[in-house]
């Protein structure tokens, strides 16, 4: 292991396993869930349908989808004990930390908590996918001195989230924007959080523990926190006319510009192309094109100067902002979506498991003689 050419920093390009869940064609810049193009799914499907696809490997028929949606709607409530714990957390607790704590608490009360059978994990999957949005909105409203709003079983996952957040049932075009975003974020191969979840699952730990670990990985600004940084950057710039000088200065200072480039795509992120059109249409509908125009200007400059294209996080940030979603909830919303991919990978790991245990190249001191402490 002394040949440094064999060491892939950050495991870049390393194939660490087999999966039937997601295919990323980095050369053609295409993404597939279970063989279905992300373009077709974003255009024609719903988040619930995509969640079913990821969990079961096939698109549902009408009856199966209705049953699945009903199961999700019926599991949205969270225990009173968990609500009380959220209320007692220190002021300013990061929403991602609240999610980690909440998932751990849910494990203690889940009747299937310690079972790793397929049936038990599917039941746990339904509960977790359904309850995560409730935890996020309850925590946000409690932290901002507002009464939590109970979930509405009549609404879709996206509509219900916006309803619990704001107290008003959203217009269909707004919930559709969030729904499409959830589809785009649902799965993306062995990204950092998904790989973390699979490592935990490979020890035969439980599903809740794998999800908690994945949330911890997603919390980082180089992974799930990127869209928050993008919106903060746009707000700092403030106006279309200020974009060019801001970007030129940032590039001259070699600052990292969030939302551009991606580890696995040679050129464009196919999800970024889709969300860009969604944001454009949303801005036009709301009569507010400022954020899209700023983003387009930034894209033109960065692509011309650095050859980098925007990823999914870049345009999704302004989509959420236009929907009135607080910036602090951008990464938690990522969890609402990506938990479907995490669970799909965890169950796949359980079904063909081998403990994930890579090696490292040692670059420290060679053998040294021990010196007694009185002689040091």
Domain 22-219+328-351: give its CATH superfamily: Citrate Synthase, domain 1 (1.10.580.10)
Give the tens place of pLDDT for each residue, 27-69. Answer: 888 999 999 999 999 999 999 999 999 999 999 999 999 999 9
Nearest one of 170, 181, 227 to 235, comparing CA atoms: 227
Q: Is position 208 annotated as part of the catalytic site?
A: no
Give the burial string for 247-282 (b: 16+ CB within 10 Å, else e). beebeeeeeebbbbbbebbeebbbbbbbbbebbbeb
Nearest one of 363, 357, 360 to 7, comparing CA atoms: 360
List, by residue range, all CATH 1.10.230.10 domains of the chain.
226-322
- The per-residue pLDDT of the chain, averaged, comes to 94
List, by residue range, all CATH 1.10.580.10 domains of the chain.
22-219+328-351
- What residues contact 152, with CB distance under 8 A and at least 6 apart? 160, 163, 164, 169
Give the tens place of pLDDT for each residue, 104-142. Answer: 999 999 999 889 999 999 999 999 999 999 999 999 999
Q: Which of these is catalytic: 107, 262, 309, 345?
A: 262
Element (H, E) at 333: helix 330-351
Q: Is position 262 annotated as part of the catalytic site?
A: yes
CB 231 within 8 A of CB 318: yes
Structure tokens at 73: 């709607």
Nearest one of 199, 195, 187 to 11, comparing CA atoms: 195
Structure tokens at 122: 């599917």
Q: Which of these is catalytic: 176, 179, 269, 313?
A: 313
Q: How far apart are CA 164 and CA 159, in angstroms?
A: 9
- Hey, how many other C-beta atoms are within 10 angstroms of the C-beta on 303? 14
Domain boundaries 226-322, CATH class: mainly alpha
Q: Is the pTM of this model over 0.85?
A: yes
Nearest one of 351, 235, 247, 245 to 308, comparing CA atoms: 247
CB 118 within 8 A of CB 174: no
Give the tens place of pLDDT for each residue, 250-287. Answer: 999 988 888 887 778 878 899 999 999 999 999 999 99
Asked if the model's pLDDT at residue 2 lies above 50, the reply is no
Q: Whose structure tokens read 């919303």?
A: 333
């Amino acid at each position: 292991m002394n040949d440094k050419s064999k060491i892939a920093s950050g495991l870049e390009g390393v194939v660490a396993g087999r999966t039937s869940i997601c295919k990323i064609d980095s050369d053609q810049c295409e993404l597939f869930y279970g063989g279905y193009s992300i373009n077709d799914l974003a255009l024609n499907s719903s988040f619930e349908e995509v969640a079913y696809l990821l969990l079961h490997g096939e698109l549902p028929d009408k009856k199966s989808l209705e049953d699945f949606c009903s199961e999700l709607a019926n599991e949205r409530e969270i225990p009173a004990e968990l609500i009380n714990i959220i209320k007692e957390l220190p002021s300013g607790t990061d929403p991602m930390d609240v999610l980690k704590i909440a998932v751990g608490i849910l494990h203690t009360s889940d009747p299937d908590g310690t079972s790793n059978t397929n049936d038990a994990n599917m039941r746990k999957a339904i509960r977790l996918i359904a309850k995560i949005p409730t935890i996020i909105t309850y925590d946000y409203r409690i932290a901002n001195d507002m009464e939590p709003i109970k979930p509405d079983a009549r609404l879709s996952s996206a509509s219900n989230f916006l309803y619990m957040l704001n107290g008003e049932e959203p217009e269909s075009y707004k919930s559709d924007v969030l729904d499409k975003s959830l589809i785009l974020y649902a799965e993306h191969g062995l990204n950092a959080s998904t790989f973390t979840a699979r490592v935990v699952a490979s020890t035969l730990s439980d599903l809740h523990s794998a999800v908690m670990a994945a949330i911890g990985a997603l919390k980082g600004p180089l992974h799930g926190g990127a869209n928050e940084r993008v919106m903060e950057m746009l707000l700092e710039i403030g106006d279309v006319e200020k974009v060019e000088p801001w970007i030129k200065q940032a590039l001259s200072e070699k600052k990292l510009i969030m939302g551009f480039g991606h580890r696995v795509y040679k050129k464009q992120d196919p999800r970024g192309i889709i969300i860009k059109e969604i944001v454009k249409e949303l801005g036009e509908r709301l009569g507010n094109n400022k954020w899209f125009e700023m983003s387009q200007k930034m894209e033109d400059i960065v692509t011309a100067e650095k050859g980098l294209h925007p990823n999914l996080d870049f345009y999704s940030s302004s989509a959420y902002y236009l929907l009135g979603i607080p910036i602090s909830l951008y990464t938690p919303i990522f969890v609402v979506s990506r938990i479907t991919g995490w669970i799909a990978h965890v169950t796949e790991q359980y079904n063909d498991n081998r403990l994930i245990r890579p090696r490292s190249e040692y670059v420290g001191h060679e053998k040294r003689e021990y010196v007694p402490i009185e002689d040091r």
